[in-house]
Amino acid sequence: MPDFEELYFDLFNAITDALRQRKEQNFGTAAEILRQAQLKVEERYMDAP
């Protein structure tokens, strides 16, 4: 079973980073941070026993 708390914190941190980038008007960077976090968490979720 995946560690949902760990996955949650990874997504939370990515969202925080993306919001910071958005505030600085780095919209492409913000979107890329979210895309990478989504891929990372999905992969870890699917690979969990």
DSSP state of 3: -
CB of 13 closer than 8 Å to CB of 25: no
Owning domain of residue 17 = 4-47
pLDDT tens per residue across span 1-49? 889 999 999 999 999 999 999 999 999 999 999 999 999 999 999 999 8
The pLDDT assigned to 1 comes to 85
Using only C-alpha atoms, the chain has a radius of gyration, in whole angstroms, of 12
CB of 37 closer than 8 Å to CB of 10: yes
Question: Which amino acid appears at position 19 of this protein?
Answer: L
How many domains would you assign to the chain?
A: 1
